[in-house]
Amino acid sequence: MRKIRVQAEDFDAAAEARALSLGRADVGATVTFVGYCRDEGGTLAALEIEHYPGMAEAEIERVVAEAETRWPLIGVTAIHRFGRLAPGAQIVMVAAASGHRAAAFAAAEMLMDYLKTRAPFWKQAIRADGTREGWVEAKDEDADSAARWGAAEP
């Protein structure tokens, strides 16, 4: 069971996670990760997230398929937002459900590491004074995190 969404609207992470095990008796563990927009010590007014429509969904689908080959997952939900997001807003969530917690924890972590380096999204920072700081630079540590799972750079 896969649910993949790329949307401007907010999402209900708790309800999404709960839906993975609702009405089932085989789920032993669901791990949910939610990523938020930080205010960077009060200096950031918003993030503007651009994406590649069509490819964003397709690439997340490929990432989820990769996780499914590695762990016995019962269900995965991945939602990524785009557009202008204020500090405190939810940006992304992944939830992985499995029979046991080890697979659910590992899958959720791998999904996020892959999403950050492979899914076609780009963040731009809007400062508190209204100026555009420009495009957020990709971090080496994100590439290193993805490499832990054997991911080649896209």
Summarize as ranges the residues that interact with another protein (CB under 8 A).
Answer: 35, 49-52, 54-55, 58-59, 80, 91-92, 112, 115-124, 134-138, 142, 154
Choice between 47 and 103, CB closer to another protein = 47
3-state SS assignment for residue 131:
coil
C-beta separation of 84 from 47 below 8 A: yes
Query: Nearest approach, Cβ of 137 to another protein (angstroms)?
Result: 7
- What is the rounded distance in angstroms from the CA atom of residue 123 to the CA atom of residue 133? 11
Q: How far is the CB of 4 from another protein (least distance, A)?
A: 13
Q: Report in angstroms how near the CB of residue 67 gets to another protein at its nearest.
A: 15
* d(C-alpha 67, C-alpha 74), whole Å: 11
Q: Considering the complex, state which of residue 74 and residue 91 has its C-beta at the smaller distance from another protein.
A: 91
Q: Which residue, 102 or 138, is less far from another protein as judged by CB?
A: 138
147 Cβ partners below 8 Å, 6+ apart? none
Which residue's CB is nearer to another protein, number 21 or number 124? Answer: 124
CB of 51 to another protein, least distance (A): 7
- Coil, strand, or helix at residue 102? helix
Which of 84, 36, 94, 91 minimizes the C-alpha distance to 63? 94
